[in-house]
Chains A and B, each alone.
Chain A
Amino acid sequence: MGEVGPLKLKEVQAILNAEVFTGMDKLELEVEAGFASDLMSDVLAFASCRILLLTGLTNPHVIHTATMIDAAAIVFVRGKRPDKSLIQAAREVGLPLLGTRFLMYDSCGRLFQAGLKGCSGDDR
């Protein structure tokens, strides 16, 4: 287990062997916690602080949702790829987009193991 604390995006990138779709210049940015869901209403309801959002959805609502809650970045899991318009929309609001081939559970497990906490409160 790594030390509990924020992770830099470049650490996230390394842990998930991730591709960066946009936000290459923001990899020094820190994420405070992780939140994983394919249900955007749950993201809106339960995510708090500067989170890393992990999702398998690649529609415009993912960008909107991340913006509304001030998420730090998005990781698309399961090898899902955003299309050009999505990448452009994220670029416009300065939201980094990453993608990993790992499945949702595996992605979360790796990040948790590296010390990135969740949004459930005191969860370790």
Chain B
Amino acid sequence: MPSLKLSFPVRARDFLAGGNGAAHIRQVLQQVGFPPEIIRRAAIAAYEAEMNIIIHSYGGELKAHITPGAITITAVDDGPGIPDIELAMQEGYSTAPREIQEMGFGAGMGLPNIRRCADELEIKSGAGQGTTVNIIIYNR
């Protein structure tokens, strides 16, 4: 299997389209033939990362780099950044508006869910900067 690179633009506040990028990544992983449990973890992490861009940022991009040994998912956005990453990683901590909570998200489970699915997780951010979330899931 050659290495594959996928990329999806994600628009801020576009709740209806939210999840399309992750769904596409999941479909490709299925076609390539990854084990179901690996696909499930990658899909959940990608979906939460995509929703985070929609809910919190000014827009960004969801990317996937797929090799036989690992799936790397990267969510990059333009601002406003996460002032306190440690706080944002706590289950139940949320800054999402009420309308998001009515859609079933924004309960402070996004980043903790991503951490649960990831073998490696790196978050680069800061107040007033963009955010880059890098997720690696090994195929083992």
- List 24 A–B pairs whose Cβ atoms lie within 8 Å, in order of A's numbering: A39-B105, A39-B109, A41-B48, A41-B107, A41-B110, A42-B107, A42-B109, A44-B48, A55-B104, A59-B15, A60-B16, A60-B18, A61-B18, A62-B104, A64-B18, A64-B19, A64-B22, A64-B23, A64-B47, A65-B19, A65-B47, A65-B104, A68-B26, A70-B36
Q: By the criterion CB–CB under 8 Å, are A68 and B47 in contact?
A: yes
The answer to whether B44 has its CB under 8 Å from any CB of chain A is yes
Complex-state Cα separation, A38 to B102, whole angstroms: 9
Instruction: Say yes or no: A67-B23 contact (C-beta < 8 A), given A40-B104, A44-B48.
Output: yes
Q: By the criterion CB–CB under 8 Å, are A44 and B113 in contact?
A: yes
Binding site for B on A (CB under 8 A): 38-45, 55, 57, 59-62, 64-65, 67-70
The answer to whether B80 has its CB under 8 Å from any CB of chain A is no
Binding site for A on B (CB under 8 A): 15-16, 18-19, 22-23, 26, 36, 40, 43-44, 47-48, 103-107, 109-110, 112-113, 116
Q: By the criterion CB–CB under 8 Å, are B103 and A41 in contact?
A: no
Choice from B15, B16, B19, B104 contacting A41 with Cβ under 8 Å: B104
Given contacts A39-B107, A44-B113, A68-B22, 14 further A-B contacts (CB under 8 A): A39-B105, A39-B109, A40-B104, A41-B110, A43-B104, A60-B16, A60-B19, A64-B19, A64-B47, A65-B47, A65-B104, A67-B43, A68-B44, A68-B47
**B116 contact set on A, CB distance < 8 A:** 45
Main secondary structure of the interface of A (DSSP, over half): helix
Closest B residue to A85 using CB positions: B16
**B113 contact set on A, CB distance < 8 A:** 41, 44-45
**A59 contact set on B, CB distance < 8 A:** 15, 103-104
**B26 contact set on A, CB distance < 8 A:** 67-68
